Chain A
């Protein structure tokens, strides 16, 4: 076959990228893609052309164990690369933060929660687990290469980009909850994280930080990894957390049922 004919190359490349080219023809094109610049260009052309289709697929969270397995497999082969300087994460413009605040207000109004304007104060002694706040900066991130946390879930404020990432420490002893953004004051209250246990009442885990990158660390509760579903929720609570030990305010978000570790 004459692979110097652009029309033929384009046709084969298009079906290769689409996935319908199979068998010996596909294998031949794979080999030619390495050695034949025209074939490589045609494949890239079709990859770019069809790429938007790939971005329309719904996101689905992969099984939790896949992450640890993949990292273990990947890090068996350390690539020979120079460490890159990791720049500090840029602070976002205030207008972006204000826009997110508006999103938060909209969500709060939907669920009928009216809060008095004021500063969100954190703290209080109603949590079951000791909580501490710290700033996680990029330098720490770079140093954490050998201590990778295990991602569990993300909870967030509806209609805004504000969210918190929940991770398990490599030794499975603590949970870290990192704020993804700044949550500006909308009232006197707090956002509290809950673990929704099977057949039992929700367990309060932490009052969450409201500054970007602020991290709350709590000890892993008993039974956390004993086959329980890892389902989390966040609720709006009075300053200091729920006075009852159970969610008393509006539930803002709840994660999907996940596999236990």
Chain B
């Protein structure tokens, strides 16, 4: 899965383990090793270097405080880091669209949730390979696939997707719902 060698992944896992025990040097090394990937994801999602930098810093501070939340069996540590960063980015996007600030009060709940250790019973899909996912995405109708990928990579809400694709909101919602159901069904096939 992914583009990192098993050696890279082991090195990052070891760094995370050391960070979980409070090593500042390991934390700095973890940042040096992984931050370009996390920043790349954030920049794509937020399209704003200042926000991306802010989310990047929040992400790593979160990691520093809760590195013990990473469960090695959960798979790619880069994916885990990017997952934390994505949620922070979505927080920022959400805050941007809600100037009254109603939503900020619950942001910390999400960050807490982002590092909840994995329940062993849920490890059915820990090592899904990219090829399988790409194959399943390829089987989706193009419009459904486009909605899913735009939502994932660019953080669009349903309404933003509808505006961007010049489609009724109901149509976009239906495509996303069907796309996700079909994706899951395909991924669960052997």
Contact = CB atoms under 8 A, between A and B. Distances in A.
Interface in B4-27: 4, 17-18, 20-27
A42 to B, nearest CB: 9
B64 interface: yes
Contact of A55 (B53, B79, B106): B79
Interface in B78-121: 78-79, 82-83, 86, 90, 94, 97, 103, 106, 109-110, 112-113, 116, 118-119, 121
Interface in A65-91: 66-67, 69-71, 73-75, 77-79, 81-84, 86
Dominant secondary structure of chain B at its interface with chain A: helix
Interface residues of B, number: 83
B61 A73 contact: yes
Contact of A66 (B57, B82, B113, B161): B57
Contacts of A56: 2-3, 130
A40 B69 CA distance: 14
Interface in B45-61: 49, 52-53, 56-57, 60-61
Nearest to A70: B57
Contact of B121 (A34, A41, A60, A67): A41
Contacts of B183: 49
B3 to A, nearest CB: 6
Interface in A15-32: 15, 18-20, 22, 26-27, 30-31
Contacts of B74: 48
Contacts of B49: 63
A175 B134 CA distance: 44
A51 B31 contact: no
A14 B124 CA distance: 16
Interface stretch (A141-149, A198-206, A247-255): A141-149
Contacts of B27: 71, 74
B25 A40 contact: no
B64 A44 contact: no
B130 A55 contact: yes
Contacts of B65: 74, 77, 79
A79 B64 contact: yes
Interface residues of A, number: 62
B83 A74 contact: no
Contacts of A66: 53, 56-57
A194 to B, nearest CB: 22
A114 interface: no
Interface of B: 1-4, 17-18, 20-29, 31-32, 35-37, 39-41, 43-44, 49, 52-53, 56-57, 60-61, 64-65, 68, 74-76, 78-79, 82-83, 86, 90, 94, 97, 103, 106, 109-110, 112-113, 116, 118-119, 121-122, 124-126, 128-130, 133-134, 148-149, 151-153, 155-158, 161, 176-177, 180-181, 183-184, 187
What 4 pairs across the A-B complex have the smallest Cβ distances?
A: A84-B21, A55-B2, A59-B36, A51-B79
